[in-house]
Amino acid sequence: MELTVQQAERIEGIVKAPPSKSYTHRAFIIAALAEGKSIIRDPLYSEDTNASLDACRAFGSEVQVDEDDGHCTIKGVGGQLKTPENVLNVKNSGTTLRIMTSVSALAPGYTVLTGDKSLRKRPMQDLLDSLKQLEVSAFSTRNNGMPPVIVKGGFKGGKTEIKGNVSSQFISSILIASPYAENAVNLHVKGKFISKPYVDMTLDIMRKFGVQAEYERSESSFHIEPQSYKKRNYTVEGDYSSASYIIAAAAALKSDVTIKNLLHDSKQGDKLIVDIVQDMGCDVKVKRDEVKISGHGKLKGVDVDLQNAPDLLPTVAALGSISHGKTRITGVEHARYKETDRIQTCASELSKLGVNVQEEKDGLLIEGGVHGGVVDSHMDHRLVMALYIIGLKVGNVTIKNASVYDVSFPKFPEIMKKLCRQENDTKKGY
């Protein structure tokens, strides 16, 4: 699918933020592990989160989606997982792969996890090594530290450690499965602890499902006793990651946009986008559960460290390209191990639009100045939506392989059209 975005003069309206993808993943998986029947209200149904839901079914949970209100009822297995009958294909969902690798050790027999071509390039060795210290047998089938991965049932527990500078999903994975280990689990994070807000989100939802999980020793270690998740009704909050594209579009154009269901006290690291557009010169008002953007269409470059919000890299890179002056993004070397090498792909595609962009080891240096052109998503949902913002500002931006926005933000173009109050997109092959 190709998506051509035309220039918009103004964006305005009231919109509800999509449900959080990160919280939805965790809610589905933890409810599936819990005792009894849980209701997950307002979850996100996307390619990634559906992969987690399918995995929950494969491990024996009963799942029912209400066609009227979209709520999801999950009957948990109380830690008594069954071995999936087939290979578990999680498609492009790195979160599902990482979390379910540790969860697989709670099922008897052997579980095989794989995904699409992109996912099979995602690093896993640090997680496999850490699980080995907990007497979990898990290994890469190609002996290259990447999927497919085979996990043998059996989770003894004990002491382990893991690097903190590769993926916070490794830490969340061990934490989520640890309550059902045979013995207590002591997990120590070594070195720099990146993307810590995602672990905060994990601990938050674990507590809400009845498990005691806390930081120890200067927030670099965790102690989890054997225990069980309890059923509960849980409402998923709005997603700052997805809302960042609406916020960015409102900052880039003349605007009057209110985004509801964004909690001011959210643990999501990507709420940093609010501070970033303010620093760029946009007027932002934050209330208890909504964000109001009043843009004048003129932004200035900024220096920003995205260590704890790496998913904002494409969004901020897009904003930098349409701003006056230079924007420097740092702290995101770990973004090279996402759906794509996001530092490299952002640099490559922005340069096609005339942007003066310099790729650095842990980020980008961008000098504002951009025009229309043809770009490619590299099958990365976040790159599609970031490039869309540029299209709204300068016009005539055609994005190849654009349909992957469905991974995290279904109906993204339709929502943007309504806010722009004009039919400014044309689609081919959709």
Radius of gyration of the chain (CA): 21
Distance of alpha carbon 398 from alpha carbon 425, whole angstroms: 10
Rounded Cα distance, 420 and 430, in Å:
21
| Residue 311 known to bind ligand | yes
Number of alpha carbons in the 13 Å side-chain half-sphere of residue 339: 22
The dihedrals phi and psi of 112, each to the nearest 5 degrees, come to -110, 125
163 annotated among ligand-binding-site residues: no
Residue 195 assigned to a binding site: yes
Is 266 assigned to a binding site? no
For residue 311, indicate whether it is catalytic: yes
Q: Which of 42, 270, 311, 380 is catalytic?
A: 311
Task: State both tokens at 338.
Answer: 């996402």
94 is in an annotated binding site: yes
328 is annotated as contributing to ligand binding: no
Angle (nearest 5°) at CA 198 between 197 and 203? 95
The residue written with tokens 């007497």 in the block is 135
Residues sharing a CB contact under 8 Å with residue 303, sequence separation 6 or more, in sequence order: 327, 328, 330
Calpha distance 428→374 (Å, rounded): 14
Measuring CA to CA, how many Å separate 268 from each of 59, 295, 323, 368, 420? 28, 24, 26, 28, 27
Q: How far is CA 35 from the centre of its chain?
A: 27
The answer to whether 420 and 11 have CB atoms below 8 angstroms apart is: yes
* Concatenated DSSP letters of 120-179: GGS--HHHHHHHHHTT-EEEETTSSSSSSEEEES----EEEEEESSS-HHHHHHHHHHGG
Is 323 part of any known ligand binding site? no
Distances, alpha carbon 402 to alpha carbons 259, 376, 398, 410, 413, in Å: 24, 8, 9, 12, 10
| Cβ 121 vs Cβ 90: under 8 Å | no
Question: Is 221 marked within a binding site?
Answer: no
According to the annotation, is 22 in a ligand binding site?
yes
Query: In terms of C-beta density within 10 A (0-12 exposed, 13-18 middle, 19 or more buried), how is residue 351 classed?
Result: middle
Tell me how far apart the alpha carbons of residues 48 and 71 are, in angstroms, rounded to a whole number. Answer: 17
Answer yes or no: is 142 a known binding residue: no
130 is in an annotated binding site: no
Q: What one-character DSSP code corresponds to residue 295?
A: -
Hey, which residues are catalytic here? 311
List, as residue ranges, the binding site.
21-22, 26, 94, 122, 167-169, 195, 311, 338, 342, 382
List, as residue ranges, the binding site for 3-phosphoshikimate.
21-22, 26, 167-169, 195, 311, 338
List, as residue ranges, the binding site for phosphoenolpyruvate.
21, 94, 122, 169, 342, 382
